[in-house]
Each structure stands twice: as structure tokens, then as C-alpha cells.
Amino acid sequence: MTETVHDLDVRRQLCPIPVIKTQNRVNQLARGDVLRVTCTDPGALNDIPAWCRINGHEVLETRRDDHDVVITLRVGEPSVAL
């Protein structure tokens, strides 16, 4: 089975926008899809993985280079709206 990888570019956007846009994009994806989020907000290294843990998604990789933060996640079970 080939996984589908999607990219989300939220560079030059500050908290909470990277998390909100990640959530919006994940809601459009299927379970098992992979989303690679690229941003410049260093807080996203904590915020997006925390959001993933709360919402049942798996963080596959986090990395930071000179300019960008990249978080790769696998979409889990859909969240239940409260």
C-alpha cells in the first residue's frame, strides 16, 4: 500500500495559525495519509506534536534547519466533535 503524502506550507505565520491550518488540512485527509508541515514558527515544534497527541495522530518526524521547522505526521482516527 502506497501512502499519500501531502504538504502544508505555513511559513511566516505565527501561533496559533500553524496549528489551526494543520487541523484544517488534516480534516480534509484520509486516515493513514501523511502530512508534512513546513513552518518558521519555532513554537510549532511543541504545538503541533501536542495537538497530534490530543487528537490521535502520529508524529513521524520533527526537524529544524536554519530557517524552517518541518513536522511530518500520519493522520489517525477522525476526531469526534464535541
Tell me the domain boundaries of the chain. 5-68
5-68 carries CATH number 3.90.330.10: no
Check pLDDT > 50 for residue 82. Answer: no
How many Cβ atoms from other residues are within 10 Å of residue 11's Cβ?
13
Q: What is d(CA 59, CA 47) in angstroms, rounded to the nearest whole number?
A: 12
Residues known to be catalytic: 15
Q: pLDDT digit string (tens) for 19-62?
A: 999 999 999 999 999 999 999 999 999 999 999 999 999 999 99
List the one residue out of 64, 47, 17 whose CA is nearest residue 25.
17
- The cell numbers describing 23, all together, are 487541523
Q: What is d(CA 58, CA 40) in angstroms, rounded to the nearest whole number?
A: 21
